[in-house]
């Protein structure tokens, strides 16, 4: 067995997990498919020490630092198969054969499904945003909108006025209940019930949205929580249990980030209902530390 552990995914969570294993002198393989969820965003914000850096630049530097550790191997590629075998795991890498490992850290991330609205996808990560804590400061003072896409959309709309004048578009899908309506009104949120059908302006900038009744509403940015799905089938292949998150399935883990399959750990957006660069990195640290402790305790008998 060439490697003791494999970390699948080279974004913030995966790099953080691999770093802990590397510093514990464990032989670790990191495999990165090179398609992180945050690749559409020009900058990462609210990440201490990295505020304003592009996600790609942060990951490049992370890999550079990780590669300095002699027990680490970094490989570009996609892990397409994973199965348990005799107390270990066999990993299949597309075009790269198989590897046998004792532990797995899944940092495989999630895939976003955006509402089917004309002009929305090409603005994703720029003027169409998912997280006010990640991007709200950069659009503060502007005319902001919230597109209802799930039952918690009204709650999100209550937060956005701290960054700017806010309109909540129900999309004729998620009408606020009486209590929500009182709170939205108290926060100064305008309620618009005619659905948005098109985003307007010189993309990726946003100037306005067109409603189904033909009206044009000026806006500088809109927030929307996309529906999410696993970006990789590996957790399902391994038999991990999932929980229902607010936007899609989440890999179930304990406080030590171990999944319901012994020896398989998970970190990052795939294993958390809250999606944030700092939280992803922190969960990767936990997964890496507990993965190491699992290996150490196994050798102790």
Tokens of 268: 């990052």
pLDDT at 79 over 70: yes
Q: Please, which pLDDT band fits residue 105 given cuts at 50, 70 and 90?
A: very high
C-alpha–C-alpha distance, residues 113 and 46, integer Å: 24
3-state SS assignment for residue 122: helix
Q: What is the mean pLDDT of residues 72-83?
A: 96
Q: Please, which pLDDT band fits residue 143 given cuts at 50, 70 and 90?
A: very high
Q: Please, which pLDDT band fits residue 23 given cuts at 50, 70 and 90?
A: very high
Segment holding 60, helix H or strand E: helix 55-66
C-alpha–C-alpha distance, residues 179 and 177, integer Å: 6
pLDDT at 99 over 80: yes
Supply the pLDDT for residue 184. 97
Residue whose entry in the numeric block shows the structure tokens 């499904």 = 113
C-alpha–C-alpha distance, residues 62 and 19, integer Å: 9
* Residues of each domain in the chain carrying CATH 3.50.50.60: 5-112+227-299, 115-223
The overall average pLDDT reported for the chain is: 95
Task: Give 158-199 pLDDT, tens digit per residue.
Answer: 999 999 999 999 999 999 999 999 999 999 999 999 999 999
Q: What is the mean pLDDT of residues 79-92?
A: 95
Supply the pLDDT for residue 176. 95
Supply the pLDDT for residue 298. 84
Q: Please, which pLDDT band fits residue 72 given cuts at 50, 70 and 90?
A: very high
115-223 folds as FAD/NAD(P)-binding domain (3.50.50)
C-alpha–C-alpha distance, residues 205 and 201, integer Å: 6
Cross-strand partners of 217: 209
Q: Please, which pLDDT band fits residue 1 given cuts at 50, 70 and 90?
A: low
Q: What is the mean pLDDT of residues 208-215?
A: 98
CATH architecture of 5-112+227-299: 3-Layer(bba) Sandwich (3.50)
pLDDT at 212 over 90: yes
C-alpha–C-alpha distance, residues 89 and 91, integer Å: 6
pLDDT at 20 over 80: yes
**Cα–Cα separations (whole angstroms), residue 148 to 10, 78, 114, 192:** 32, 34, 12, 10
pLDDT at 264 over 70: yes
Task: Give 54-64 pLDDT, tens digit per residue.
Answer: 999 999 999 99
Contact present, 277 and 130 (Cβ < 8 Å): no
Supply the pLDDT for residue 301. 60
Task: Give 113-141 pLDDT, tens digit per residue.
Answer: 999 999 999 999 999 999 999 999 999 99
Q: Are strands 208-211 and 196-200 parallel, antiparallel or unpaired?
A: antiparallel
pLDDT at 108 over 90: yes
């Amino acid at each position: 067995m060439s490697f003791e552990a494999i970390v699948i995914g080279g974004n913030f969570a995966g790099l953080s997990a691999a770093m802990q294993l590397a510093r514990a002198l464990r032989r670790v393989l990191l495999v990165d498919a090179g398609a992180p969820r945050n690749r559409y965003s020009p900058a990462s914000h609210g990440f201490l020490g990295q505020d304003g850096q592009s996600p790609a630049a942060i990951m490049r530097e992370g890999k550079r630092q990780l590669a300095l550790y002699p027990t680490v191997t970094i490989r570009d590629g996609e892990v397409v198969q994973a199965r348990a075998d005799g107390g270990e795991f066999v990993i299949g890498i597309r075009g790269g054969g198989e590897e046998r490992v004792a532990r797995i850290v899944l940092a495989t991330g999630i895939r976003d499904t955006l509402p089917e609205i004309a002009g929305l996808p090409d603005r994703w990560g720029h003027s169409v945003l998912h997280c006010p804590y990640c991007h709200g400061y950069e659009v503060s003072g502007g005319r902001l909108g919230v597109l209802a896409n799930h039952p918690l959309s009204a709650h999100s709309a209550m937060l956005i006025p701290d960054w700017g004048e806010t309109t909540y578009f129900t999309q004729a899908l998620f009408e606020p209940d009486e209590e929500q309506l009182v709170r939205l009104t108290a926060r100064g949120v305008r309620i618009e019930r005619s659905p948005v059908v098109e985003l307007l302006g010189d993309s990726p900038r946003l100037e306005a949205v067109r409603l189904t009744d033909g009206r044009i509403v000026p806006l500088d940015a809109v927030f929307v929580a996309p529906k999410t799905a696993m970006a990789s089938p590996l957790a399902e292949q391994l038999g991990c249990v999932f929980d229902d998150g607010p936007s899609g399935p989440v890999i179930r883990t304990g406080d030590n980030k171990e999944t319901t399959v012994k020896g398989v750990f998970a970190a990052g957006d795939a294993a958390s209902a809250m999606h944030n660069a700092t939280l992803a990195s922190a969960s990767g640290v936990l997964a890496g530390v507990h993965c190491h402790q699992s290996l150490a305790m196994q050798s102790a008998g």
